[in-house]
Amino acid sequence: MVTTRTSNVTRIAYLLSQYPAISHTFFLNEVLAMRAHGFLIETASINGLQPPAAGFPDTEMREAAHTFYVKQAPKLAILRTLIRTLFTRPDVLLRGLSAALTLRPWDIPGTGYALFYLVEAIILGEWMLRKGCSHLHVHFGGAVATVGMLTSIAWKIPYSLTIHGPEEFYDVGSSFLEQKIEAAAFVTCISDYCRSQLLKISPVSGWPKFHVCRLGVRTDVFVPVLSAPRDILHIVNVGRLHPAKGQMVLLESFLELHRRRIPARLSIVGDGAGIDSLREYIRRNDLQDLVTLHGALSHPATRQLLGTCDLFVLPSFAEGVPVALMEAMSMEIACVSTYVAGIPELIESGEQGLLVPPSSTEALTDAMATLLLDHQQRGRLAAAGRQKVLSTYNLSTNINRFISVFEQQDLMPVLTRQTALSASVQSGI
């Protein structure tokens, strides 16, 4: 049953780098689940909409229609917002400017970026006031969280973070991660590994603000698909085409499978800057008949392709906990991935799938060959994988944990639409 919340509940603004996004379905699922539980959620996106070639499904398009796109605000409207804030709320600008200038005090280019982030924070904060939002939640700890932190400081609006990693952990100083988590009311972490990286840079007194809230998938949507045995087994990879995702190592391993005369074909789903090098490798090694680069597919199209999959492979060098792996496991597909960050929390090697050292072409080839040639082991790992998702990475269960963290904060409205803005603001952006 959907919870009915009282009118005085805090209205929460979600700030994302891009929303909706074809590669981040968990944003959409989380927002929809929060609303289904009675929360009042408004969505804002720093970057504009970038639909795939086939377009977004209706659900995403409805979300896009009600999302505030910060960078798409007209320049004249931005100027009006800054002038209006200067004259009606100079304290906001002073607090924001002080915070922005202390991020990189001796770095001129860095200070320039900080000032751009501050402009976005002023725009975002005023939008939040118009919407009656009194809490801001931000996913990821990079530039989008910098905007979120500056918004919180300038407008005195509490904010919280969901940290995924691993990019933020590589250079904590450049990402201002310590400042962000210190300023946050609370922080949710998608894995124990993620939480450990935050504990490492935080005083013990701040540890209680970190909560592990695992991501999840809709196990009623990502369900096993029965299919007849195939002579040529189908390997699928889904993810951004980026060196960190390891697709080139996957191609090298697939070529070795071909040389061992193991019958298989490979589908790679995703788009990104690495596509040209993948195409060149496929052409140079004459793999055009065995490897298909599908580009970015819609969620239903990706799910349909997974329904024809015998082995899902994600040989990443850097990850948080990949939702793509959860989706494949939920569909009872045997998976091969790497010992990276939070992945071993999702897959215990030999129990729910196989894990190999990142970048090891030899180990990846052997793991894929083992499962392609052993139908029984493939089936055992696939069944155990779905059970792991059902027990630990089920969205309907995990969203309750996430919601309980919000409820424990006893967030109370600190702003109202009646007092937030003057009439002049109402005619703004």
Q: pLDDT of 177-211, one tens digit each?
A: 999 999 999 999 999 999 999 999 999 999 999 99
Distances (CA, A) of 216 to 16, 322, 400, 403: 18, 10, 11, 14
Residue pointed to by tokens 């298909």: 292
3-state DSSP assignment of residue 267: strand
On the question of pLDDT at 136 being above 50, the answer is: yes
Q: What percent of the chain has pLDDT over 70?
A: 93
Nearest-CA neighbor of 239 among 174, 132, 326? Answer: 326
pLDDT over 80 (residue 13): yes
3-state SS of 110-147 is HHHHHHHHHHHHHHHHHHHHHHCEEEEEEECCCHHHHH
Helices 108-131, 143-155: inter-axial angle, 10-degree rounding = 60
Residues whose CB falls within 8 Å of the CB of residue 198, separated by 6 or more in sequence, listed in order: 163, 177, 181, 187, 189, 210
Say yes or no: domain 233-392 is CATH 3.40.50.2000: yes
Q: Which two tokens stand for residue 150?
A: 């500056």
Q: Classify burial at 419, counting beta carbons within 10 Å of its beta carbon; exposed 0-12, middle 13-18, buried 19 or more.
A: exposed
How much is the pTM?
0.88
Residue of 330, 285, 294, 295 lying closest to 312 (CA atoms): 330
Please tell me if the domain spanning 11-216+394-426 has the same topology as the one spanning 233-392: yes
- Tell me if residue 413 falls in helix, strand or coil: coil
- Lowest model confidence (mean pLDDT) among 120-129, 155-164, 346-355, 406-415: 406-415
Look at residue 414 in the predicted model and tell me its pLDDT.
42
Give the DSSP letter string of 202-228.
Answer: S-GGGGGGEEE----B-TTTS------
Backbone torsions φ then ψ of 134, nearest 5 degrees: -120, 10
**pLDDT band, residue 426 (cuts 50/70/90):** very low
pLDDT of residue 52: 66
Per the structure block, which two tokens stand in for 256? 């070795």
In 182-330, the DSSP E strands lie at: 187-189, 210-212, 233-238, 264-269, 291-295, 311-313
Query: In this model, does residue 421 exceed pLDDT 50?
Result: no
381 contacts: CB under 8 Å, gap ≥ 6: 334, 335, 351, 352, 353, 354, 371
Across residues 31-44, what is the average pLDDT? 91
Q: Residue 394, Cβ neighbours under 10 Å: how many?
A: 20
Any idea where the domains of the chain sit in the sequence?
11-216+394-426, 233-392
**pLDDT digit string (tens) for 280-292?**
999 999 999 999 9
Q: What is 11-216+394-426's CATH number, 3.40.190.10, 3.40.50.150, 3.40.50.2000, 1.10.10.1100?
A: 3.40.50.2000
Beta strand residue intervals within 213-350, DSSP E: 233-238, 264-269, 291-295, 311-313, 334-338
What pLDDT score does 342 carry? 95
Lowest mean pLDDT among 14-23, 154-163, 363-372, 415-424: 415-424
298's tokens: 């819609």
At 37, the pLDDT band (50, 70, 90 cuts) reads: confident
Q: How far apart are CA 45 and CA 70, in angstroms?
A: 6
